[in-house]
Structure 1
Amino acid sequence: MAVTTTNLILGPATLYQGSFGAAEPADTNVAINATPAASAWTDVGGTMDGVKLVVDQTYTALEVDQIVDRAGSRLTKRDMSVETTLAEPTLENLSTLMNGGTAASGSGYKTFEPASASSATQPNYSAVLFDGWGPSSFRRRVIVRRVLNVESLELGYTKDKQTGLKAKFAAHYVSSAIAPLHIAEATS
């Protein structure tokens, strides 16, 4: 197989957060490198060590006594997530990573307090979208429609290391008619 060097990808992605059910940008917008609507999606700022989509699929083997080989397989579990480290440890990003909470501001200050609901309360699902490079130096957009951050939150201060907030936005089922993941890629 010949190598198509224009299919090689290198470069950062821009990560956005929106509400679950936020209006998604049209697929045609990826071709013109348009940013998502500011009213629906918020740029979370700089990231460290990239932004990655992880899809972990579990296939269960089908077996019969009469043959030694695997007779077939069925997809029985799929875990998808978007993982990164947020380089800007703002209160807004803390709220995003704690799946909501209460933010307030006054003259010269801002505050944040995490949600204190019971364990039976429905969590505050959101959505994430990231724009990065695709083949032929065109853009690729990944939208994960219903997520929760499931990563532990650590806010550390160290003399010789930059503070970052690890994020793992786990994808969740949306409906039988709406896939949890959508990827659009420009072709021209």
Structure 2
Amino acid sequence: MSVNTGNLIQGPATLYSGAFGATEPTDAAVNSTPATSAWTDLGGTQDGVKFGADQTYSELEVDQITLRVGSRLTKADYTIETSLAEATLENLSLTLNGGTSASGAGWKSYEPNVTSSATQPNYFAVILDGYAPQQFRRRIIGRKVLNVDSVDLAYTKDKQTLIPAKFAVHFVSGSIAPIHIVDQTS
């Protein structure tokens, strides 16, 4: 097998957030910045941005055959994970899945959402813009996400304060996939 070094990928990604149901950039616009009216750049990240797909399959077996005869998908879990390097109240609000913000002359504040667990959470969408093979661009859109990671703000003299984020993708509908991935090809 010959190796095509143009298919090797290395480099940072940019992460954007938008409202659940926000107008998505078209596939043809994969190499363009998403509309700033609908999407917000989350700023710098540390240790990269990672897309994960964890699929669980249940085995099908029969007495007459020793090998697995088939499998059925029983669970799928898609995530987009990073550490947000810009420890703003806006990024904190996003990773705490909403809340209340206020601002005035020389100040701004944030209070997390503490409503009942029966209340629908504030889902949002994320776009991961990174590289694809041949130095083109790849866009991964998580259409309905929530942060499911613990959030901590560590203030230490020898380490940068980061906001960890693990955006879990949720079911949208029977006709709308929760994830959309597009690669630029020319």
Name the structure 1 match of 2:35.
Answer: 37
The superposition leaves residues 153-172 of structure 1 with CA deviations (integer Å, 9 ceiling, x where unpaired) of 10110010011011000000
TM-score, normalised via structure 2 length: 0.99
The superposition leaves residues 140-183 of structure 1 with CA deviations (integer Å, 9 ceiling, x where unpaired) of 10001000000001011001001101100000000000000001
Name the structure 1 match of 2:138.
Answer: 140
SS at the partner of 1:95?
helix
Name the structure 1 match of 2:28.
Answer: 28
Q: Determine the C-alpha separation between the residues in 1 that align with 2:146 and 2:114.
A: 16
Name the structure 2 match of 1:126.
Answer: 124
The count of corresponding residues between Structure 1 and Structure 2 is: 186
1:98 paired with 2:88, answer: no
Q: What do you get for the CA RMSD once the two structures are aligned?
A: 0.6
How far did 1:72 drift? 0.6
SS at the partner of 1:25?
coil
How far did 1:91 drift? 0.2
Ranges of 4+ aligned residues in structure 1 off by more than 3 Å: none
Runs of at least 5 residues in structure 1 that lack an aligned partner in the other structure: none
In the alignment, residue 62 of structure 1 is paired with which amino acid?
L
Q: Determine the C-alpha separation between the residues in 2 that align with 1:87 and 1:109.
A: 21
- Which of 107, 110, 113 pairs up with 1:109? 107
The superposition leaves residues 103-161 of structure 1 with CA deviations (integer Å, 9 ceiling, x where unpaired) of 11000001000012111100000011011111000011000100000000101100100
Q: Determine the C-alpha separation between the residues in 1 that align with 2:159 and 2:34.
A: 32
In the alignment, residue 52 of structure 1 is paired with which amino acid?
K
1:11 paired with 2:11, answer: yes
- State, as a whole percentage, how many aligned pairs show the same letter: 66
How far did 1:67 drift? 1.1
Name the structure 1 match of 2:170.
Answer: 172
The superposition leaves residues 59-81 of structure 1 with CA deviations (integer Å, 9 ceiling, x where unpaired) of 11001111111111111110110
Q: Determine the C-alpha separation between the residues in 1 that align with 2:119 and 2:56.
A: 29
Runs of at least 5 residues in structure 2 that lack an aligned partner in the other structure: none
